[in-house]
């Protein structure tokens, strides 16, 4: 299997192209400043639990509103008093989450060789800020707000595949490209999608801001960064 076997790259954004873990750590600082002894991974794991639970319980809630609830749940877990305005401020913090250093340049290159598709657990207003940071490279964008559910729900993948088929893009032409084993690679396996793991946490333990899947999914390709993916594409005689 080669990168040049595909005509479309379907991207997860947060954790793959946007450094959401750094964004979360910064946004949760008003809480963590009041709680001692928390490691970075402990903070991210608490976020992963409450985020995935809230997504499952209220799948139609927009991501900014959902993050506000996550902030409230984490504050309660850590016994920190917060007001709803503070929770809402965290919900809006996606606009401040930084892109990984290599993302915009890599996407600028790849958009000349592929249809670039977004399948992301985000709302459209929040995504607009991230899209700007990434250079607005995407041809097609599917958000959780569009679908009314959050990955790893099969509904999100059904929505993407159905709409791409209408555009003439068949499943075998798509390489699902993501960091999260839980949100992306497990359902990609279930749908028979070829998949590429962007292993941003290759130098860290655990799963960070995502839940651990029941079984570790298989993957067809793995790169530690988007820059490595681009280098591999060029090595196939492209670019």
Q: Where in the chain is the domain with CATH 1.10.150.750?
A: 21-94
Give the best-scoring range by mean pLDDT among 33-42, 103-112, 195-204: 103-112
Pairing state of beta strands 194-198 and 221-223? Answer: parallel
φ/ψ of 134, rounded to 5, equals: -90, 0
| Helix runs in 114-225, H state only | 124-133, 144-147, 154-166, 186-190
Instruction: Please answer whether residues 54 and 69 qualify as being in contact, where contact means their C-beta atoms are separated by less than 8 angstroms.
Output: yes
Count of C-beta atoms within a 10 Å radius of residue 186:
19
* Three-state secondary structure call for residue 87: helix
Q: What is the pLDDT of residue 118?
A: 98
Q: Which of 15-29, 154-168, 175-189, 205-219 has the lowest mean pLDDT?
A: 205-219
**239 pLDDT more than 70:** no
Just list the catalytic residues.
12
pLDDT band at 238 (very low <50, low <70, confident <90, very high): low
High-pLDDT (> 90) share of the chain, %: 90
Read off the pLDDT of each residue in 106-118 and give the average, rounded to a whole number: 97
Tokens of 120: 């992301």
Region of 63 (left: φ > 0; alpha: ψ -120 to 50; beta: rest) is alpha
Give the C-alpha separation, 76 to 34, whole Å.
12
Domain 3-20+97-235 fold: Rossmann fold (3.40.50)
Q: What is the mean pLDDT of residues 175-203?
A: 94
- Number of CB atoms found within 10 A of residue 21's CB: 23
Res. 209: pLDDT tops 90 = no
- 9-33, pLDDT tens digit by residue? 999 999 999 999 999 999 999 999 9
CB atoms within 10 A of CB 116: 20
Tell me the three state secondary structure of residue 216.
coil
* CA 117 to centroid of chain Cα atoms: 13
The CATH number of the domain covering residues in 21-94: 1.10.150.750
Task: Provide the strand spans (E) within the chain.
Answer: 8-11, 115-120, 140-143, 174-178, 194-198, 221-223
Mean pLDDT within 195-212 = 85
214/234 Cα distance (integer angstroms):
35
Residue ranges of the chain assigned to CATH 3.40.50.1000:
3-20+97-235
Give me the mean pLDDT over the 155-177 stretch.
Answer: 98
Predicted pLDDT of residue 201: 82
The residue-averaged pLDDT of 194-217 equals 85
């Amino acid at each position: 299997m080669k990168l040049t076997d595909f005509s479309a790259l379907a991207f997860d954004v947060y954790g793959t192209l946007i450094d959401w873990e750094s964004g979360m750590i910064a946004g949760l600082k008003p809480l963590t400043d009041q709680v001692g002894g928390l490691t970075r991974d402990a903070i991210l794991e608490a976020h992963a639990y409450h985020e995935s639970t809230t997504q499952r319980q209220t799948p139609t809630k927009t991501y900014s509103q959902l993050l506000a609830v996550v902030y409230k749940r984490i504050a309660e877990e850590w016994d920190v008093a917060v007001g709803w305005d503070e929770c809402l401020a965290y919900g809006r913090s996606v606009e401040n989450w930084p892109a990984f250093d290599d993302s915009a340049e890599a996407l600028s290159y790849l958009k000349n060789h592929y249809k670039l598709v977004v399948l992301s657990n985000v709302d459209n207003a929040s995504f607009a800020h991230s899209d700007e940071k990434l250079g607005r490279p995407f041809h097609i964008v599917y958000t959780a707000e569009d679908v009314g559910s959050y990955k790893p729900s099969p509904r999100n993948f059904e929505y993407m595949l159905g709409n791409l088929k209408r555009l003439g893009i068949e499943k075998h032409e798509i390489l699902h490209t993501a960091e999260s084993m839980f949100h992306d690679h497990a359902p990609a396996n279930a749908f028979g999608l070829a998949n590429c793991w962007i292993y941003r946490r290759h130098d860290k333990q655990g799963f960070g801001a995502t839940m651990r899947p029941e079984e570790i999914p298989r993957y067809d390709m793995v790169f530690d960064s988007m820059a490595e993916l681009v280098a591999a594409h060029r090595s196939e005689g492209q670019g």
